[in-house]
Each structure stands twice: as structure tokens, then as C-alpha cells.
Amino acid sequence: MKKLFNRLSVFAAVVVTVALLAGCRSNSGQITQVSTINALMAGAYQGQMACGELLQYGNCGVGTFDSLDGEMLILDGTVYQIKADGKVYRPNARVTTPFACVVDFKASKPVTLKPCDMKQFTTEFDAMYPDTHLFYAVRVDGKFKQVVARSVPRQHPPYKKLVEVAKNQKVFTLKNVEGTIFGIRCPEFVKGLNVPGYHLHFITKDRTKGGHVLSFQLKSGQMQADSYNVFKMILPVDSKNLKNIDMAKDRSHEIEKVEK
């Protein structure tokens, strides 16, 4: 009888532990997005969620900041702000974002990459992960012959459309750098909500430079990936600033110009 009781105790302890772990991993398999890409494209740059709250939805991600003040990269639970001066800042938890995507990145076994450019890399990734109806996060840690990255300057109201702002984007050509690319591959059907295809951001290993990736040439590196089949979208409730924002308009051409 005592033995049975001990077994039951162990069983109960396991059940409680599993339940607790499940509670901690509530973002498992989920990509969480703040606002829509069309709202951002149309000039809705007012921050909707604080970085501190955003981190509750994941430890890695990409996005931008209130007033479009630079590119956001979240890596291993740290938020980096890469401003148009090319420098990397660490915003406090109260700084807000008008658009971001975060995931709880649970990395797969690393795959060693051969030297490749961005096109070769995405072609290879698509071949390895053909489930294009799912969201994927990808991380590459490596040495790069070159990374061409950009950031956008802080905007002041009345806000111009992103396609106009992007004409004044700052482009940085980083040569012979070590660092990390992190980003999302979205399904094509997210058109209007997010960026279909790849959206990659970069940061150097010493966390001093980076930006939204326009192209790269990798010398050597390791790649990890994770997939998500739960899509959570947190829409802005900012009716004052969204009054004149047309979120339904097809902005595919504008997104192509701005993001690629």
C-alpha cells in the first residue's frame, strides 16, 4: 500500500510539473503580431504595445518602434533598436512598437551552411522547409563577407506613407562582419497583414551595428529554424490615429519596394 502511495505521489508530482511547464510555454508554436503591415505602410507609426509587454509573447522577433524610430530586433529576450545613425540602442521596457512579430524561438539542431548569398540561402531554406503554409523563424549565426542593411529615420506627424519614408532610408554596407541574422518567413497568404516571404534583420556579434537586411554574402555559419502554426494578431485600438488609415488597400507593390 505504501509503495502504491509513493507511486501515486510521483505521478501527481509529474502531472503538476508538466502542467506548470505547459503554463510557462503558452506561446509554444505561436507567432504573435502587433498591428498589420498595411497599417504601417499607410503611416500608422504610433506605438501600440510596450517592449516589456511584447517580450511576454516571445524571446525573438522583428519590428519597428514608435514614430518609426529604427529597426527592431529581439534576440534571446533582448530588444535591440537599430537607428538611422547605424548605431544599436537598448530601449527601455516602456518604449512602444507600432508593428512587430515575436516568437518563442526554440532552435532546431544547427545546420552548417556553405558560403551563399541571400537568394541562395532562401532557396535552400525553402527546399529544407517546404511547408509554405506555416510561419517559420530562422536564425543564422556566422561570418559574413558583406551584409547590406538599412534603417529608417524617426518620423514626425503628420506621418508620410512608408514608401515615401523609405526613399530617405539609410543603407549600411557592413564588410567582413560576424553576427546574427534573425527573421520570419511568412506564408504568401498573409498579404496585407504581414510581409509575405522573408523579413530578416541583422546585428553584429558585438551588438553595435545592424539593420533590416537587403542582401548578404555569408562566408560560413550555422542555421537554426522553428515553425509556428498558431497566428495571433493584436490589432490596435487607436481609433483617433487610425481614422484615415486604409488597411484594406492592396499595397503589395509598396511592400515590395520597401521591404526587399
Nearer to Zn ion, 111 or 193 (CB): 193
- How many chain residues touch Zn ion (CB under 5 A)? 1
Residue 86, sorted as left (phi over 0), alpha (psi -120 to 50) or beta, turns out to be: left
* Distance (Å, whole) CA 85 – CA 259: 19
C-alpha cell at 15: 502531472
Binding of Zn ion by 139 (CB under 5 A): no
Min dist. Cβ of residue 54 to Zn ion (A): 15
- Judged by beta carbon, residue 209 or residue 212, the one nearer Zn ion is 212
- Residue 212 Cβ vs Zn ion, minimum distance, rounded to whole Å: 4
Nearer to Zn ion by Cβ, of 212 and 251: the residue is 212
Whether the Cβ atoms of residue 161 and residue 254 lie closer than 8 Å to each other: yes
**C-alpha closest to that of 126 among 38, 225, 26, 257:** 225
Nearest residue relative to Zn ion (C-beta): 212
Residue 157 in grid coordinates: 506627424
- 172: cell is 549600411
**Least distance in angstroms from the C-beta of 152 to Zn ion:** 9
Sites for Zn ion among residues 177-216 (CB under 5 A): 212
The x, y and z cell numbers of residue 234, run together, are 493584436
- Of 185 and 212, nearer to Zn ion (C-beta) is 212
**Least distance (Å) from Zn ion to the CB of residue 195?**
8
Q: Catalog residues that contact Zn ion under the rule CB under 5 A.
A: 212
